């Protein structure tokens, strides 16, 4: 296993980063790695790879509005993303713009905030009253800010608390989920609220730590996974992370708490996960490393090169990948 983060780099042309969601969710393209072979499909073809008795696990987190825009009292523009409440009307935030401790920020409607602490990428901001009028924050690489926020929610989202969408799930429509259920595939929901740490680039694999993210798995969901008759498919890296966090031996336990699990190549999976549906991820990211831990790194990066060459769309509003591990020889060799 390589510990050099540069081994997880690849060429991602800017024009491959999708700036708009697919007009019809399930019409996104789907690159399938099936029995070690690459197949080019559309997302609605996912049903052909699922069988009666299989379990499909979804992350039902819902993206919460967390962004406000304003200016410094000195005049410069500033964009603030509220990440975590520290105490009443004081929050840990990410501020886009040149800010320092002591700066006064003005947001309109009488809302003001003072930067009372500054550390790394974060600022502690003390507001003068309750913060209202927040918007959904899209990933920094999405330059189109006029996207309808409903496109940045899965059709099954229900538990608000995430700062970013579980993007693999964005491709499902209610109609496609109904067809999957009709095929006798059991759909199970868990919840992991995603933080902005998901977008962080890794500089040192050995020293990297994932930020804590709140997650919940009910006993009902755990039992449905453990008692399945068929295979286990996870929708998104967050779902894999949640199930592995809650795993006790080779079973999933009910869980309420925080996860800071960092899955990287060499990680020994506790659960037998037969397939993963995921988007194409940023080079040198924790998400790419998780997928590389699930599948062979070299073959994964070959698939990414194919996706670039075939003009797939990448990242949050991009196309999808499905990895099906159905044969013994397709299992990961750590």
Which residues fall within 8 angstroms of residue 178, CB to CB, at 6 or more apart?
Answer: none
> For 2-23, what is the mean pLDDT?
92
Is residue 163 located within the same domain as residue 182?
yes
Listed in order, strand segments (DSSP E) in the chain are: 29-34, 37-42, 55-59, 61-63, 67-72, 77-87, 90-96, 104-108, 111-119, 122-127, 159-162, 186-192, 213-217, 232-235, 247-248, 251-252, 255-259, 275-279, 320-324
Q: Is the dihedral of CA 231, 186, 316, 32 positive or negative?
A: positive
Tens digit of each residue's pLDDT (9 = 90 or more) over 78-113: 999 999 899 999 999 998 888 999 999 999 889 999
Tens digit of each residue's pLDDT (9 = 90 or more) over 277-288: 999 999 999 999
- Picking from 127, 156, 171, the residue at the C-terminal end of a domain is 127
Contact between 96 and 79 under an 8 Å Cβ cutoff? The reply is yes
pLDDT number for residue 332: 39
pLDDT number for residue 326: 57
Is residue 149 located within the same domain as residue 241?
yes
pLDDT number for residue 118: 92
pLDDT number for residue 201: 82
Is residue 166 located within the same domain as residue 254?
yes
Domain of residue 80, residue span:
67-127
Tens digit of each residue's pLDDT (9 = 90 or more) over 137-152: 999 899 988 899 999 9
Residues 120 and 249: their CA atoms lie apart, in Å, by 37
pLDDT number for residue 333: 39
The mean pLDDT value of the chain amounts to 93
> Look-up: residue for tokens 């538990």?
159
Q: pTM of the prediction? A: 0.92
**Helix, strand, or coil here: 244?**
helix
Residue 75 within any structural domain of the chain:
yes
CATH classification of the domain holding 108: 2.40.10.240
- Between residues 2 and 11, the one the model is more confident about: 11
Is residue 116 located within the same domain as residue 229?
no
Which residues fall within 8 angstroms of residue 245, CB to CB, at 6 or more apart?
Answer: 215, 255, 259, 261
Residue 33 within any structural domain of the chain:
yes
pLDDT number for residue 211: 87
Q: Is the pLDDT of residue 329 over 70?
A: no
Tens digit of each residue's pLDDT (9 = 90 or more) over 193-240: 999 888 888 989 999 999 899 999 999 999 999 999 999 999 999 999
Is residue 85 located within the same domain as residue 233?
no
pLDDT number for residue 278: 98
Is residue 174 located within the same domain as residue 77?
no
Which residues fall within 8 angstroms of residue 328, CB to CB, at 6 or more apart?
Answer: none
């Amino acid at each position: 296993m390589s510990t050099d983060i540069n081994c997880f780099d690849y060429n991602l042309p800017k024009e491959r980063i999708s700036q708009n969601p697919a007009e019809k969710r399930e019409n996104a393209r789907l690159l399938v790695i099936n029995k070690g072979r690459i197949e080019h499909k559309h997302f609605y073809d996912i049903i052909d790879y699922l069988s009666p008795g299989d379990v499909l696990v979804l992350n039902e987190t819902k993206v919460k509005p967390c962004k406000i825009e304003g200016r410094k009292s000195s005049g410069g523009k500033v964009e603030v993303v509220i990440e975590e409440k520290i105490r009443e009307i004081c929050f840990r935030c990410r501020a886009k713009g040149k800010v320092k401790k002591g700066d006064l920020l003005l947001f309109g409607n009488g809302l003001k905030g003072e930067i009372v602490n500054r550390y790394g990428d974060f600022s502690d901001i003390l507001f003068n009253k309750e913060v209202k009028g927040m918007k959904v924050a899209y990933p920094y690489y999405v330059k189109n800010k006029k996207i309808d926020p409903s496109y940045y929610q899965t059709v099954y989202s229900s538990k608000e608390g995430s700062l970013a969408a579980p993007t693999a799930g964005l491709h499902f429509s209610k109609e496609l989920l109904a067809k999957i259920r009709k095929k006798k595939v059991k759909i199970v929901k868990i919840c992991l609220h995603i933080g902005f740490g998901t977008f962080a680039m890794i500089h040192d694999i050995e020293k990297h730590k994932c930020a804590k993210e709140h997650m919940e798995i009910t006993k009902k969901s755990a039992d449905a996974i453990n008692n399945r008759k068929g295979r286990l498919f996870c929708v998104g890296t967050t779902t894999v992370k949640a199930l592995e966090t809650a795993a006790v031996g080779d079973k999933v336990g009910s869980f309420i708490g925080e996860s800071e699990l960092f899955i990287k190549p060499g990680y020994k999976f506790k659960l037998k996960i037969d397939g993963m549906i995921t988007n194409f991820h940023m080079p040198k990211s924790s998400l790419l490393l998780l997928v590389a831990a699930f599948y062979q790194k070299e073959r994964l990066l070959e698939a990414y090169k194919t996706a670039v060459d075939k003009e797939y769309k990448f990242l949050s509003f991009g196309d999808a990948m499905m990895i099906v591990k159905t044969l013994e020889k397709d299992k990961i060799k750590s």
